[in-house]
Amino acid sequence: NAGVTQTPKFQVLKTGQSMTLQCAQDMNHNSMYWYRQDPGMGLRLIYYSASEGTTDKGEVPNGYNVSRLNKREFSLRLESAAPSQTSVYFCASSGRLAGVSGELFFGEGSRLTVL
């Protein structure tokens, strides 16, 4: 019962370094999402992929890129990390076709610190 799996769970970067957060789901879901959560705040949408082969910007896309590698995997890349990107990152997936209501299921999160 893996559900949504994120790696790594913890990462420390120096300003200017790059890294990729990986996400995989085994529920055969069409849509996948990346959110960030800052202390005391809700989740803000970074990017999403309604279906394999498509990606779109969310509320806070600046400084990030994404790749929908296949139906299972959706990665988030920080090309040049900044301290403002210190956050907890959550990947989520949804089982319904884009535009049709569905439930969001989350991974356990990836805690990123940028020094």
Partner 1 sequence: GQQLNQSPQSMFIQEGEDVSMNCTSSSIFNTWLWYKQDPGEGPVLLIALYKAGELTSNGRLTAQFGITRKDSFLNISASIPSDVGIYFCAGQLRGTYKYIFGTGTRLKVLA
Which listed range, 11-19, 64-72, 74-82, 94-102, lies at the site for partner 1 (CB under 8 A)?
A: 94-102
| Tokens linked to 114 | 């940028």
Q: Which is nearer to partner 1, 69 or 88 (CB)?
A: 88
Q: Is the Cβ–Cβ distance between 99 and 78 less than 8 Å?
A: no
Q: Which is nearer to partner 1, 14 or 39 (CB)?
A: 39
For position 28 contacting partner 1 by CB under 8 A, the verdict is no
What are phi and psi for residue 84, nearest 5 degrees?
A: -70, -10
Q: How far is the CB of 115 from partner 1 (least distance, A)?
A: 21
Tally: H helices and E strands in the chain = 0, 11
Q: What span, in angstroms and rounded, lies between the C-alpha atoms of 8 and 23? A: 9
Query: Which positions lie near partner 1, rule CB under 8 A?
Result: 4, 31, 33, 35, 41-45, 48, 50, 56, 58-59, 90, 92, 94, 98-99, 101-109
